[in-house]
Amino acid sequence: MENTAASNFLQSIISDDLNSGRVTEVLTRFPPEPNGYLHIGHAKSICVNFGLAQANGGRCNLRFDDTNPEKESQEYIESILEDVRWLGFSWNGDVRFASAYFQQLYDWAVYLVEQGNAYVCDLDAEQAREYRGTLTEPGCNSPYRERSIAENLDLLARMKAGEFAEGEKVLRAKIDMASPNMNMRDPILYRIRKVPHHQTGTDWVIYPTYDFAHGQEDAIEGITHSICTLEFEDHRPLYDWFIEHLPVQHRPRQYEFGRLNPSYTITSKRKLKQLVDEGVVSGWDDPRMPTISGMRRRGYTPAAIRKFCEMIGTTRSDGVVDVAMLEFAIREDLNENAPRAMAVINPLKVVLTDYPEDKVEWLRSPNHPVREDMGERQLPFTREIYIDRDDFREEANKKYKRLVLGKRVRLRNAYVIEADHVERDAAGNITEVHAHTIANTLGENPEDGIKPKGVIQWVSASHGKQAEVRLYDRLFNHEAPDRGDGDFMAHINPDSLQRVTNAWLEPALVEAEPEQCFQFEREGYFVADRYDHSADRPVFNKTIGLRDTWDS
């Protein structure tokens, strides 16, 4: 897969704005709503907004658009802060909240009423839908649209004071019910929500809508480039209408880019929450989830995610991105930076009958095949070792390059051995392989000229450490799990998690720090679990295999 950076049309816009003098400094913002954990699509938005500011010597604000207290929580706020930091970005100044601007937004709502550009409407939700019209038919004016300014001001003040029930009244902009753009058909500015807010408590019982608040927040903060995903393109005329009809000091501009839609993935917060609520996954940070915290726990690196976002580019069109591109970026990063180690996930004991029972030989092994700066480690070699059960057969054809009775194989960074016979249990299952070492083959080929068939990993049975290894795969087995009207739950991959509790690791791995990544030789890339791993109870998560197994 070609590793190149794709285009970014937004950079061209910013360069033109700086060169023409339209702006003297770039100020962007990342404005998540704290109603769930961030996912891979948000990672792209983070990279776009923070990255463009960084590349142009500018700044990027982190602002929570917390206008819907029913679905928001402090837990989500904390997770988002952690995600942005982990991806390697720093925001400008203090963390900002839309709720900090509630008084100013309300004052501007009053201003719109005073100018005859907003009114209080009593239509309930069903009536409002009927009056709104359709994509092919214009809407109808609300019977409350021509209320006097004085009456609207009085009703708005009483809404704010909590006199009315939820859904009883809303404040709407007075624009054009016949507009071909549905967003311009007298959109709601304020609705009644008698719910405590995680930042403002019970100070407010009316809350601004996202459409009303968003552009004005940008204006307050002096944002030069308000960058959002393409589904907000039809909202831009409304964004501009508010800016034009309010006495703002700064006039930001909105730009849209294509959102990230990876294959084999869902990015709907509602559906991700359903996976959590129904116990399909263990939580928002389950390593199978496309959330940033889930990918982090899976062993994905910030550098790889940033590289992936760079590879796919920033364009004006939506489309599905092959998730294999993300996996390629992960493999490339870990191949270069992850130290090597040996682990046996499906163990089979091998007894080297010619090796002394009490002997321990410490063999030196590089931590990386080409990076000398990573140093080396020592591996204990003993009479009894574990190899992977798939690396042994009693009989095999010439294509099988592992251990076979009467044949030889090299143990990684150790001796060549030859299998002699097997031991079985009462059910006929192989419990042990008895073998012998070939003399003088530590780092050398056999003196008799009979070369080994291949190279396999191994772990000392007496000095290795038993561990839990969680084998993760894609959560969905369909490339578009939420396409159409089908149930995305029907495409859950039943093999997305397999737990192995009797894996064996080389001893140094138990000292790994949580989130430390390794290549388990011939197995794939693994990470010490962020929460569960300890020296007493090692737990490793499979990040990704050495090669793409979904390509067939």
Which CATH number is correct for 9-262, 3.40.50.1000, 3.40.50.2300, 3.40.50.620, 3.40.50.1820?
A: 3.40.50.620
Question: Could you say which of 44, 63, 269, 383 is catalytic?
Answer: 269
User: What are the strands, taking DSSP E only, across 241-375?
Assistant: 253-257, 260-262, 319-321, 340-341, 343-344, 347-352, 361-366
Q: Domain segments of the chain: what residues?
A: 9-262, 269-337+467-544, 341-463
**Does the fold of domain 269-337+467-544 match that of domain 9-262?**
no
Tell the residue number behind the tokens 């004052």, with chain if given: 107
> What one-letter code names the amino acid at 429?
N
- What is the reported pLDDT for 550? 61
In the CATH hierarchy, which top-level class contains the domain 269-337+467-544?
Answer: mainly alpha
- Active site residue: 71, 193, 259, 393, which one? 259
Q: Give the number of other CB atoms < 10 A from CB of residue 230.
A: 14
Task: Check if 174 is active-site.
Answer: no
DSSP-assigned beta bridge partners for residue 240: none
**What token pair was written down for 498?**
């397999």
- Establish whether 479 is a catalytic residue: no
pTM recorded for the entire structure = 0.92
506 Ramachandran zone, left/alpha/beta (phi>0; psi -120 to 50): beta
Is 33 an active-site residue? Answer: yes
How far is it, in rounded angstroms, from Cα 507 to Cα 202?
Answer: 56
Longest dimension (CA), the chain: 104
Other Cβ atoms closer than 10 A to 547: 9
Q: Which residues of the chain, if any, have pLDDT below 50?
A: 1-5, 552
SS3 state of residue 489? helix
Residue 445 burial class via C-beta count within 10 angstroms: exposed 0-12, middle 13-18, buried 19 and up: middle
Q: Any idea which residue has 């062993």 for tokens?
A: 299
- Annotation: CATH topology of 341-463: Ribosomal Protein L25; Chain P (2.40.240)
Provide the Cα torsion 343, 349, 352, 357; round to 10°: 90
Cβ atoms of 471 and 541 closer than 8 Å: no
- Residue pair 384/459 in contact (Cβ under 8 Å)? The answer is no
Angle between helical axes of 210-221 and 236-245 (0-180°, round to 10): 60
Q: Are 362 and 378 in contact (CB under 8 A)?
A: yes
Strands (E), 355-407: 361-366, 376-381, 384-388, 392-393, 403-404
